[in-house]
Copies of this chain bind each other. A is one copy, B any other.
Amino acid sequence: MPVNLVAPNPADLHPVPGVEIGIAMAGVRKANRRDLTVFTLAEGSAVAGVFTQNRFCAAPVQICREHLAAGAAIRAMVINTGNANAGTGADGLARAQRSCEALAGALGISATQVLPFSTGVIMETLPVDRIVAGLPAALADRQAAHWHAAAEAIMTTDTVAKAASRQVSIGGATVSVTGIAKGAGMIRPNMATMLGFVATDAKVSQRVLQHLAREAADRSFNRITVDGDTSTNDSFVLIASRQASHAEITELESPEGAALREAVIAVAQQLAQAIVRDGEGATKFITVRVDGGRTKDECRLVAYAIAHSPLVKTAFFASDPNLGRILAAVGYAGIADLDPSLIDLHLDDVHVATKGGRHPAYQEADGQRVMKQAEITVRVDLHRANGPNAAHATVWTCDFSHDYVTINADYRS
């Protein structure tokens, strides 16, 4: 059951001029499943991507990196579900390459202008013949309004399609920012999640777009975790079709750059949080905020230790204020010179612990009240730095339920 997450209304998703999307059934893993998605991008589009840091990265991720590095303008993307094409060695690379070549041939472009993406089971051979056979139908299906259909087509164990959209005024022009993403397990993105696609028609330089893609990933997909498993296929792509009529944005610090940044990050955060809300088996949406650190990195260490602890996550599932488990996670997070006697712990507005121990005014009934909520904020103050020197970090996660075990014990069957 997703946490406070409803399927997007197709009418709320603004088409992005210059971006068309087509979907088809290729039978990659299951028959009668819309499992193949094609994006085509107008001439002049700029594309930036960030990808998994998993060393066992999937064949399509390797090819995306190569094609983006080659520098030819990206004009199309091909995405399949049902098979991750990861752990497939040289043969997997050849198969991903073949899907790019087939799409390039149909569009009259070069294969290096195509980015491939795959999601699904690892270490199985990609049925590339079926993907190639499905391309004509996907191309014929293309429309600018197909964002919602694409959000559905890229789902695996997701239970709700994930899409977000904004419009923002830039230099007198109305600019759209629309994106889709999918989860729902093997989610602890390191660079970006598998898969997120956000497009805008803003006129923005390639350099600025690349910066913005990294910042948006870092403030959204890179701050979520469902199970701590960093996927082999994480990919986040930010597309600018550059068709809006405003003057080109060449600095993020300009008023126009700031407006675009805010819209892109808002869409990316909404998508990233949607992945957590629909995390495998999730019943709670948890925000973990750590304040008072000396560096952002040490705040993240602590936030992730809490967010990954199976004991903390099962306590949230049970609505059990067994909050010593959070202190234990703070203690083993890896800050060697941490002084536990300085630490404060809040659960929403409830002050649970202070100076390394239970707060004198803390009542279990107050903890219980917050733990029963569907959305909970855990706030830890390390008191290792204060005022403007203090770093902080926020991570979003979900609880750990019976359904997580059920889903992952049954995923392939």
- A residues in contact (CB < 8 Å) with B: 53-57, 84, 86-92, 121-125, 185-186, 188, 190, 227-232, 308-311, 314-315, 317-318, 320, 322-325, 327-332, 335-336, 338-341, 343, 353, 355-358, 400-402, 404-406, 408-413
Contact = CB atoms under 8 A, between A and B. Distances in A.
Shortest 7 CB-CB contacts between residues of A and residues of B: A122-B324, A56-B331, A89-B357, A123-B324, A318-B409, A230-B332, A314-B408
Given A357-B92, A401-B405, A328 B410 contact: no
A357 B91 contact: yes
Contact of A413 (B90, B320, B356, B408): B320
Contacts of A317: 405, 409
15 contacts: A54-B331, A56-B328, A56-B340, A87-B340, A87-B353, A125-B358, A227-B311, A229-B309, A230-B331, A232-B324, A232-B328, A310-B404, A314-B404, A314-B409, A320-B413
Contacts of A327: 56, 86-87, 122-123, 232
A60 to B, nearest CB: 14
Contact of A320 (B229, B314, B338, B409): B409
A405 B409 contact: no
Residue from A89, A125, A308, A405 having most chain B Cβ neighbours under 10 A: A405
A357 B124 CA distance: 9
A210 B86 CA distance: 47
A100 B355 CA distance: 24
A338 to B, nearest CB: 4
Contacts of A190: 332
A320 B412 contact: yes
B328 A122 contact: yes
A82 to B, nearest CB: 14
Given A56-B340, A122-B325, A314-B408, A89 B355 contact: yes
Contact of A328 (B54, B339, B409): B54
B402 A406 contact: yes
A357 B228 contact: no
Contacts of A308: 228
A324 B357 contact: no
A367 B59 CA distance: 24
A370 B351 CA distance: 50
Given A232-B327, A314-B409, A315-B408, 19 more contacts: A55-B340, A56-B332, A57-B340, A86-B327, A87-B340, A88-B358, A91-B357, A121-B322, A122-B325, A123-B358, A186-B328, A228-B309, A229-B310, A311-B408, A317-B405, A318-B409, A318-B410, A320-B413, A402-B406
A91 B121 CA distance: 52
A310 B412 contact: no
Given A185-B311, A322-B121, A332 B227 contact: no
A355 B93 CA distance: 13
Nearest to A123: B324
A356 B56 contact: yes
A14 to B, nearest CB: 35
Contacts of A186: 311, 325, 328
